[in-house]
Structure 1
């Protein structure tokens, strides 16, 4: 994993934040299709963004000195699909983790569908693909109501497969690779004998900067690390339009660099001191970010930005459990009544930032496995006992127990 960005918190915003900007756009870019969000869409977007910072804070607790790059939108989508197969108690817990307690499950599903349609229409010059799928063992029968929700609201592909076959693993990974334009490969390493379902979200994003950088102007410049040291890294530079704002609470500069017709942006939150980067995500919330960006200033001046590439892969199961995610209560996935639990939440991502723009991809795989009450053996009635040598069968002692008292 690249080490170039140990102090700058970077993420791609899939939901546009309010910013002050001029009306100029490139003449060759299509006009955005913008409309007001419905109340439930706005709540979904806001909750998803707050979930972003909650998830980032938990990951930082586990990996405080490592680069990471995630699509919280992908994780959020996979969890949203899964909660439709949970019982009421677990549904409530999922909704709490996602910050959606004010919505019904039906409102959440419908708002997800319409919100994805909305962000697809914001900029035709941006390549965006959001794909969902459900893979389940042919030894089980998926509940039709659950399958209908996935296909209707999440446009999910449903695959019934032999989970004991290597071909299934290859096909599943092939689906992910295709949906992420080849950027995410071999995301699922194996299928355990107990696993019976996988819920998958894949997302791919590629966009050019509104004003691109000249590759000939990219040079090695100094980058300050959190530990006080400095390194030389390839840095792009150009006189480009961007927005800047300062937040006193965060003690951080917020910089936005637009893509395409300016409805998508690369947002950077850079603390005053490099050593303050750890823990920064835990201080950010959507209201603070939106309010700060609402007062941002438009600049057209020289901007220096590291050129970099990140790859990240992690099992987020424990991170999400720490956030309150339930592991069980998944009674509405299959017709068969078997105890089920989440086995893993694999998240793998890729990001490249270069002179042309950014290319990003991510996948979230939630594995479901069969479980049972921990097996136990009870000796709770009178018995005869022997002490013997097992190889020869020689009995050394014998007896009978009628009353252990």
Structure 2
């Protein structure tokens, strides 16, 4: 069984305040809106976008960016930062900005709390994606990785919204996803392959905002991401699609049909899962020596869709030893060849609508189906 999924987030306006945290405090100059220790044109851009309502500043950023100290962030503050950047003015005032120390989690805490948040996020993502009139395929892990890389460059309300969506603070998201490859079993001489790959592509054209070096270092360290600076043109489109194709063993030949030359960044996750069944399904078999045909495990049958219509599909039949059940559904578990991974299928009971069952799920309830 081969499966590959990929997620891509395009950041047209991912700017501003990259806030990678560390212990202690740091000194910044007046006008240093991105709090990176330097006053330059990027800070002016951050202030302009804040004035336009496109980004939100933290309390520390509001204090540093309000150069004229009138209690408001205005275009005049951005203009003054541009003058400082051009050495037409001097930034003499300094501020001590306290850094926030991220909590330290034990390995057990990371797995327990991270897995619980992942289960809740997965169910909520499914609820928001399922529809009556079409099939739905979602990869919560891919989406979480893409949002996690975005979260590394977020601050203010944007950071809070992403944390709320993921169900855990940024510090735990980073710890959980950084540890996730350690949970995967990819033993040699086994038939199962489970790989996770991340990449960040940022625009280097003249009109694109600069990307913080701290952000780049953060996604490399926290998400093992490959980082590619490039101009967003047809060559970049080809390179992005080739990267996805390579990381998914060509199961996904492309992820983008076109590229936005004005976008700032593309954040991409690709996941590949390739495994054989522990007990494989076999097709009909004809023995030419005996002249006898033997029925296999694959047959045509009628499948009833969630809207009541019927479709003729290929059914794979087997008898399994591990069955699932809760108050409104039943299902089964079928293991792959190495026994470390399994496929689980759940079917709502007769009379229970698919959407109603999905909407009744929580992460805890899904985990407890057994």
Q: Same fold (TM over 0.5)?
A: yes
Partner of 1:235: 315
1:95 deviation in Å?
A: 0.7
Partner of 2:283: 215
Q: Equivalences for 1:316-355 in 2 at 5 Å?
A: none
Which structure has more strand as a fraction of its residues? Answer: 1
1:40 deviation in Å?
A: 1.8
Say if 2:171 is the partner of 1:106.
Answer: yes
Q: Equivalences for 1:306-317 in 2 at 5 Å?
A: none
| Alignment partner of 1:253 out of 326, 330, 346 | 330
1:281 deviation in Å?
A: 1.8
| Alignment partner of 2:116 out of 46, 52, 70 | 46
Residues 108 and 232 of structure 1, relative CA distance in 2, 3 Å threshold: closer
Say if 2:184 is the partner of 1:119.
Answer: yes
Residues 135 and 292 of structure 1, relative CA distance in 2, 3 Å threshold: same
Identify which of structures 1 and 2 has the higher relative contact order when contacts are C-alpha pairs closer than 8 Å and 6+ apart: 1
Q: Whole-Å Cα distance in 2 between the matches of residues 244 and 238 of structure 1?
A: 12
| Aligned 8 A contact 1:83 1:91 in 2 | yes
| Alignment partner of 2:137 out of 61, 64, 69 | 69
Where does the alignment leave 5 or more consecutive residues of structure 2 unmatched?
A: 5-105, 285-295
Residues 122 and 73 of structure 1, relative CA distance in 2, 3 Å threshold: farther
Where does the alignment leave 5 or more consecutive residues of structure 1 unmatched?
A: 1-10, 13-35, 294-405
Post-superposition CA distance 1:253-300 (Å, at most 9, x none): 03211112333111111011276112322211222122232xxxxxxx
1:201 deviation in Å?
A: 0.5
Q: Whole-Å Cα distance in 2 between the matches of residues 244 and 37 of structure 1?
A: 31
| Aligned 8 A contact 1:228 1:275 in 2 | no
Report the 3-state secondary structure (helix = DSSP H, G, I; strand = E; otherwise coil) of the residue aligned with 2:228.
strand
Q: Whole-Å Cα distance in 1 between the matches of residues 307 and 368 of structure 2?
A: 31
Q: Whole-Å Cα distance in 2 between the matches of residues 128 and 270 of structure 1?
A: 26
1:252 deviation in Å?
A: 0.6
Report the 3-state secondary structure (helix = DSSP H, G, I; strand = E; otherwise coil) of the residue aligned with 1:262.
coil
1:41 deviation in Å?
A: 2.2
Q: Does 124-133 or 79-88 show the bigger shift?
A: 124-133
Partner of 1:358: none
| Aligned 8 A contact 2:119 2:367 in 1 | no
Partner of 2:75: none
TM-score normalised per structure 2 = 0.63
| Alignment partner of 1:276 out of 347, 353, 365 | 353
Partner of 1:375: none
Partner of 1:151: 220
Post-superposition CA distance 1:197-254 (Å, at most 9, x none): 1011111111111111112211112322333344432212234x44112211xx1103
Q: Whole-Å Cα distance in 2 between the matches of residues 121 and 128 of structure 1?
A: 7
- Tell me how large the CA RMSD over aligned residues is: 2.3
Residues 108 and 238 of structure 1, relative CA distance in 2, 3 Å threshold: closer
| Alignment partner of 2:200 out of 134, 155, 170 | 134
1:172 deviation in Å?
A: 0.7
Partner of 1:176: 244
Aligned length: 251
Report the 3-state secondary structure (helix = DSSP H, G, I; strand = E; otherwise coil) of the residue aligned with 1:205.
strand
Which structure has more helix as a fraction of its residues? Answer: 2
TM-score normalised per structure 1 = 0.58
Residues 200 and 276 of structure 1, relative CA distance in 2, 3 Å threshold: same
Partner of 1:309: none
